[in-house]
Structure 1
């Protein structure tokens, strides 16, 4: 995707995250709870939990909230029993969309996701209908102006798979999802702080939508992201408004 679109979308995402801090905290609490339940409550031996706790710190979540979420996950406190579920579908012009949720009520969640798709011009797909177009990986974005050679050396030595330059001078570092936390720490220790760092479903190919299609697509993505049970939404298009 075009560099200006990429960085505009990254800034838009960060601004949207800041504007919805309460909801972000709720999503992070779910993620911390599930990560602790699946891999234990020690961030040193549970990379998924470590990433979630790091995100909570970036979102200025109080440490007490984090501790309680870990305790709920490990059985120390009572709480809802969340499960992970993924839905796939199509947006404007056949764009591929993946919707990752955490829910304590699958019936409610699938109804809400299906309603959002149909109301805003999309369609729910079957399991596996679009996931093959994406790769599960760790992803870090670095702003234009970073020293390419030094970043590449630091990232590859840390275990990254690839460093990709965009047409505006920014860089994208890709790595195996299971090694993401350790690689991110090593890259940051080398002096490189990513603008955004996440484990994602990264599309193999991307296109940019503009005009009315971009407006419609953004409304669909916003509707999905605003659902209480939705954790992440991934798509293979860049919305250029």
Structure 2
């Protein structure tokens, strides 16, 4: 199945995440704590925790840090109580935005998210206003030039829902959240290592923004991602920043 070009946006996002490496540990620790609190500290029985620990290891977090935060979440140590809250709203050009947060103070968090949106040309919506435009799924991206036939064969045999070749040759594999690990493991066992592999909220349709609108949207997304309580920002904008 063919698709639009997302590769430039994926690479741009990865580059910005690399610039903010120091903040990633904070977010990963929160995810580990919440995942362990909800599903227990056994990695074999808790897929969400297993994925969070994999991400932490990939970000070079020491094993002691990981274990300490699992213990904190499962009651072996005292810790902060985090609450998961999702906010929905709109950005430049009516682009849909979802902001997943973990916070110990929901009044502070909603005020800051609302302020960032309104200050940068967006607005906070009501619950359910944009979530229908996204699909909860596993998503794996392979760089242009990867063997498309091999990716398709391995991925579909392992239970993937779809394999999409974008206009620029990048390959996107979609899975159900439950099948994500099995598909990723099968691909990596075949020597096919994705550039990006995550369980995410994928936009069903996109809005193309360029020029000044794209710059404004990127500024808005950066400010949301820099907010201390924000874990993930999802949106349906494809940005042409002219880079």
Q: TM class by shorter-chain length?
A: over 0.9
User: How far is the alpha carbon of 1:207 from its aligned partner?
Assistant: 2.2
**Deviation, structure 1 residue 2:** 4.2
CA distance in 2, matches of 1:41, 1:79: 15
User: CA separation in 2, counterparts of 1:62 and 1:201?
Assistant: 28
Aligned to 1:10: 10
Using the alignment, how far apart are the partners of 2:14 and 2:212 within structure 1?
24
Q: Distance in 1 between matches of 2:19 and 2:42?
A: 30
Q: Which residue number in structure 2 is paired with residue 79 of structure 1?
A: 79
1:179 Cα deviation from its structure 2 partner: 2.3
Contact 1:50 1:181 in 2 (8 A): no
Root-mean-square deviation (Å): 1.1
Residue correspondence of structure 1 range 1-241 to structure 2 within 5 A: 2-3=4-5, 6-241=6-241
**Which segments of 5 or more consecutive residues in structure 2 lack a partner in the other structure?**
none
Aligned residues: 239
SS of alignment partner, residue 193 of structure 2: coil
- Cα separation, 2, equivalents of 1:91 and 1:108: 21
Distance 1:186 1:49 in 2: 20
Distance 1:101 1:157 in 2: 35
TM (norm. structure 2) is 0.95
Q: Which runs of 5+ in 1 are unaligned?
A: none
Counterpart CA distance in 2 for 1:146 and 1:82 is 40
**Cα displacement string for residues 97-139 of structure 1 (whole angstroms, at most 9, x for unaligned residues):** 0000011110010011000001101000000000011111010
> What is the SS of the residue equivalent to 2:38?
helix
Give the Cα–Cα distance (whole angstroms) in 1 for the partners of residues 122 and 175 of structure 2. Answer: 31
